[in-house]
């Protein structure tokens, strides 16, 4: 199966390199910016295409790895070419394969294939894709063939339905990007005491890493620690008093979620007073 990429950004670079390193037949790249497609082709030891139709002609599977808001525009353009029996897919986490509207009229097949991994560096991220879970949804025609392709790379593959994509992407963003936002809060508290951001990250990282490793090894409930889990109302009140006003609501809501998990872990602990306090704080925000 010959694989071509439309779009030569971080995702296109990373997937193309990962595929070519694992002996999949990557043909090359087309990009609106010729220098980008040339750069990607050099990095993956493939070809660059100056005309999009030339890439389409020689590809069996076409990955549209443009930014999300360009995927539909790209589809509106390429649907005018001969796509007979071709596989058209994108790598967006939030969009489904239905973005390729009326694809049946082109006698082609639509898929969304998303790496559940933060691709942040176009030259380095591919090295970690071997440990990545891929999610896929789309037409039944080639669904199993694509799954087998990834399983031969030793990647775990999860099948989704098109209607699942938004909630799935929310899960990914919550555990990745929004965690970064929470970490920025943590760093800001230490910076108030003279830490630089780099010093704050280094100081917090053993705590972050140990917590994540505990969750991986033992699950969410068993990994719980901290003032909410141990029903330390005094400390929670001190936090509420110290936290910036604009962050009180998120602290309260997250603490209430921790409380739900804590009740599962410690079924003989009476959390009633702490719960009343947090609910009262939630009403004030």
Q: What is the pLDDT of residue 106?
A: 95
Q: Is 13 exposed, middle or buried (0-12, 13-18, 19+ CB in 10 A)?
A: buried
Q: What is the pLDDT of residue 161?
A: 92
pLDDT > 70 fraction of the chain, expressed in percent and rounded: 100
Residue 236 has pLDDT above 80, yes or no: yes
The tens digit of pLDDT for each residue in 161-188 reads 999 999 999 999 999 999 999 999 999 9
The tens digit of pLDDT for each residue in 60-90 reads 999 999 999 999 999 999 999 999 999 999 9
The mean pLDDT value for 222-243 works out to 95
The tens digit of pLDDT for each residue in 118-168 reads 999 999 999 999 999 999 999 999 999 999 999 999 999 999 999 999 999
The tens digit of pLDDT for each residue in 22-74 reads 999 999 999 999 999 999 999 999 999 999 999 999 999 999 999 999 999 99
Q: What is the pLDDT of residue 44?
A: 97
Considering Cα of 91, then 163, then 97, then 89, what sign does the dihedral take?
positive
The mean pLDDT value for 240-255 works out to 94
Q: What is the pLDDT of residue 284?
A: 77
The mean pLDDT value for 3-22 works out to 97
The tens digit of pLDDT for each residue in 265-285 reads 999 999 999 999 999 998 776
Quickly state the pLDDT bin for 193 (edges 50, 70, 90).
confident
Q: Per-residue DSSP letters for 181-213?
A: HHHHHHHHHHHTTT--HHHHHHHHHHHHHHHHH
CB distance 265 to 222 below 8 Å: yes
Q: Cα separation of 110 and 99, whole Å?
A: 9
Q: What is the pLDDT of residue 282?
A: 83
3 state DSSP class of 94: coil
Q: Cα separation of 51 and 252, whole Å?
A: 54
Domains and CATH numbers, the chain: 2-163 (3.40.50.720), 175-284 (no CATH)
């Amino acid at each position: 199966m010959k694989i071509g990429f439309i779009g030569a950004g971080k995702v296109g670079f990373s997937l193309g390199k990962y595929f070519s390193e694992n002996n999949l037949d990557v043909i090359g790249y087309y990009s609106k910016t010729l220098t980008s497609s040339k750069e990607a082709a050099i990095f993956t030891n493939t070809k660059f295409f100056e005309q999009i139709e030339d890439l389409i002609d020689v590809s069996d599977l076409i990955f549209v790895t443009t930014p999300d808001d360009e995927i539909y525009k790209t589809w509106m353009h390429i649907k005018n070419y001969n796509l007979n029996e071709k596989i058209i897919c994108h790598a967006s986490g939030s969009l489904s394969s239905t973005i390729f509207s009326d694809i049946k009229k082109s006698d082609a097949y639509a898929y969304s294939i998303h790496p559940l991994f933060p691709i942040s560096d176009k030259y380095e991220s591919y090295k970690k894709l071997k440990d990545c879970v891929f999610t896929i949804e789309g037409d039944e025609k080639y669904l199993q063939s694509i799954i087998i392709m990834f399983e031969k790379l030793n990647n775990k593959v999860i099948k989704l339905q098109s209607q699942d994509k938004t909630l799935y992407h929310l899960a990914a963003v919550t555990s990745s990007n929004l965690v970064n936002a929470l970490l920025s809060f943590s760093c800001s508290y230490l910076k108030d005491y003279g830490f630089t951001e780099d010093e704050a990250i280094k100081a917090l990282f053993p705590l972050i890493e140990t917590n994540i490793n505990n969750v991986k090894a033992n699950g969410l409930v068993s990994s719980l620690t901290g003032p909410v889990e141990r029903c330390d109302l005094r400390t929670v009140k001190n936090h509420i008093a110290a936290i910036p006003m604009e962050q009180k609501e998120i602290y309260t809501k997250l603490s209430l979620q921790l409380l739900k998990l804590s009740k599962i872990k410690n079924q003989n602990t009476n959390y009633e007073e702490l719960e009343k306090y947090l609910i009262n704080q939630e009403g004030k925000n």
